[in-house]
Structure 1
Amino acid sequence: MEGDFTPIENQRLPTLYEVLLRQTSPPVDLWSFYTFLSQFPYAIDFLDFWIDLMAHVRLCRDYVRGVKESIEARNSELIADDAHSDESNVLLDALLTEGYLDFKNARRVSQFLRGNVEESMRISRLLDTFKQDHRLSTQSDREADEFLAAMVDDMLKQKIHKDKQPKMTRKQLINNASQICRQYLLSPQESPRYLINVPDEIRMKALHAVQSERRFDPELFEDLRNLSYDFLEMDCFPKFLNRVALHNLHDQLSDWRFQTTAAIGKSKGDIRGQRSASPLSTYSGLGRIALGLCWLGIGFWIGYVLIFLHYSRAIRVTTIVPFGIGCYFSVCGIYQVDILYSWFGVTQRLMYEKKLPSDREEDVPKSRTRVPTIFALLGGRSRLMPVHHPFIKKLLLRRGMWCFLLVVVSTAVLTVLFSCVPGKRI
């Protein structure tokens, strides 16, 4: 997959779908996007919802895979023992042959997860027969889907007991779907990450499906998933690309989103480790503009002193040093592109490395690279990371060359101006 995606990275910027599938390289990976959205409290809730929903989809796939493997194992045991298949085995085998456990047929898998498998005439007849026989022995009034769910759960329990390996169960999936509703859909007071601006019709439809119908199939969240994706794609992702793909200088973001109780307790005794020693790291753009203006002020002061002390033009050329430094920092701060960073293929992280949550270290991709010592003077090395995405690396390099041209031209103009002006001692 990575080998097929590499040529695409050389030709264009990534799409949101590629980022969500974790196919992209820093600085446009999923963690960078998540960190960027952390400064927008309501926007990041939609990304959290998407991530939790995709995790729920994977759990559903694990559940279907477990059912499929259990049915195949039972069939293998029957063949080995030359035993006669009872009605339950025939019914479960029909689920397999009718494609209700085939991931290529998403519609039928969703029907199986809902317990709605009576579309197949064969399974419908088997369910009617099994239900009638079961009623004769238990006098139960459960519906056909409940019969099937109970049968599948019993089979999974037997498989778990035999293999001593945990399997995803229907109850766990229902609890997970309920947790998603509690987290995002109940109300602003009850849900800690309530999704704002979601139509009530869509929200109530999902709540009714989970709470009343006890559904857990991913299809019940389909409208919410599309709504979240459209919001992230049209409103959030363009801002993210503009931030990280066109600039390599970023003001340090607040870590309020990641300050869990465990992280705060662990970091109380190490407040100094939460901060960068360089002001150019915390406020990259503004800090460089301020420093650049200071150096330009020094250049003007030296230039006027040399002019009014009637020094020779050869000596006045020395103003190239403060003017060059001042133009460098000013241009870099205005365009938010550090020229040296672009030449060496590095960029600033959106958040200081030591501010990353300690209780999520396993989820945070660490990018280790040897950074030249000079970068410690330009804003610290702790916030620097390599640009792995080829197209963004070339894009930043071109913008860096444009900034370098502006620095050279502006420095040359100021130096020539203060060198060629006739001197006069006062």
Structure 2
Amino acid sequence: MDGSRNRLPILFEVLNRRTLPPVDLFSFFIYMRDHQRSLDYLDFWLDVAQHMSLCRHYVRELRRSVLVSTPELSLDRERSSPQYEFPDDSDDKESNQRLSAFLRAETPDPSMSAPRRSMGDTLDTPPTGRPSFMSSPMDPTNSSSIAHTVNRADVRASAEKILYTYLLRGAEREIVLPDPILQAISHAIEVDGRDDPDVFNEAKNYVFQAMERDAFPGFLRSKALGNLVPASVMMRLIIGLLAMFGGFWAAFALIFLDITPRSTRLWLILPFLIGVYCLIAHQYSLDPIMGLIGLSEYTFMEFYQVREPYVRSLLVKRSIWILGLTIAIVVALVCLYAFVPGKRL
């Protein structure tokens, strides 16, 4: 986590769990589920990331088994033969390419594999998709969370699961991708027998760019510049309209009944304050009191603390500005109706 970040996070940081609430991965998951209705795209990206972690874990286990069976390699690894040279576990692009190249070199003969469905087949009984990552203890970006020993069959099963869950026509959680990408993935897995992470690179990048373009700006507006979910925003609109109606009704009643003393009209501050406060909170999707105390809503009437420093400062500044605007409008309304001469009808 980069606590000194003096800017809004980018999507890559959110997906890789480098941010804090309310712009963390959990919040983005809720936003994609409840607002965008496109959770399958996020789950696909996470499953591909989890597949990458599985591949790294497999290679690490293979390296460990080789070093245990041939201890002399650990003493003189610089002179080891090429078949014992494994890619490291870092996340950089070059390391990922070495990892994929190593797995491709180990790819078994596809003719020995079990029959698979082709890209044109319809899934009559599609496999069950991965449960939401929020209900799984496995961190999809952390290979150390895989507690059991991984073999090549696990890597193969992971790749096929992604294909059958998201990419085949009629899949249970089919996502929309360009046909050339889908055909290339299907051919690589079903014909070439590949299961290395590079198989999904194009699809993963396409989904990332789609989320970055279509979903992430709205997520930042919702969570970094506001702290209310749509249900709460609508509730404040209803309360605000009712309070303003009550305030105007009471104001005209006091004027046309010529109620004395005139200081009685100062009670109009209550309905006007509630009404203006709720209407402005609806307009900006931001409750200023919640913003000042550092609370944000992730589902209706369920809250968490704002822990991302830059977002916290943004919400505090916007909350102070909204409170000032609310007070100014309320004072103007109360003064207007308090000093209007009464006239009994």
Normalised by the size of structure 1, how large is the TM-score? 0.66
Give 1:328's aligned residue. Answer: 277
Q: 1:7 aligns with which of 4, 7, 15?
A: 4
Paired residues for 1:90-109 under 5 Å: 93-96=81-84, 99-103=85-89, 105-109=95-99
Change in 2 beyond 3 A, CA 1:421/1:70: same
- Quick one: percent identity of the two aligned structures? 34
1:180 pairs with one of 159, 162, 165: 162
- 2:236 match: 288
Count of residue pairs brought into register by the alignment: 301
Q: 1:183 to 1:57 in 2, by over 3 A?
A: same
Residues 56-91 of structure 1: CA deviation (Å, up to 9, x unaligned)? 1011001110111111112217999xxxxxxxxxx9
What is aligned with 1:195? Answer: 175
Deviations 1:216-263 (A, max 9, x none): 100111111111111111111111111111111112xxxxxxxxxxxx
Q: How does 1:14-413 map to 2 (within 5 A)?
A: 14-39=9-34, 43-76=38-71, 93-96=81-84, 99-103=85-89, 105-115=95-105, 166-187=148-169, 189=170, 191-196=171-176, 198-251=177-230, 283-310=231-258, 311-349=260-298, 351-352=299-300, 380=301, 383-413=302-332
Amino acid of the residue matched to residue 300 of structure 1? Answer: F
Deviations 1:308-338 (A, max 9, x none): 2322332222212222222112221222211
Gaps of 5+ in 2: 113-146
Q: CA deviation at 1:185?
A: 1.2
Q: TM-score, normalised by structure 2?
A: 0.81
* Counterpart for residue 424 of structure 1: 343
CA distance in 1, matches of 2:327, 2:253: 23
RMSD of aligned Cα (Å): 2.5
SS of 1:39's equivalent in the other structure is: helix
Rounded to whole Å, the distance in 1 between the matches of 2:343 and 2:286 is: 40
Q: What's the CA shift for 1:108?
A: 2.9
Query: Structure 1 residues 384 and 102 mapped into 2: Cα distance closer, same or farther (>3 Å)?
Result: closer
Larger Rg: 1
Taking the aligned partners of 1:6 and 1:77, their CA distance within structure 2 comes to 44
User: What SS does structure 1 have at the residue aligned with 2:304?
Assistant: strand
CA distance in 2, matches of 1:414, 1:79: 81
Match for 2:172: what amino acid?
Answer: P
Q: Aligned letter for 1:58?
A: S
Instruction: Assess if the C-alpha contact under 8 Å between 1:43 and 1:236 holds in 2.
Output: no
- Return the letter of the residue paired with 2:207: S
Distance change (3 Å), C-alpha of 1:386 and 1:317: same
Alignment gaps of 5+ in structure 1: 81-90, 118-141, 147-164, 252-282, 353-379
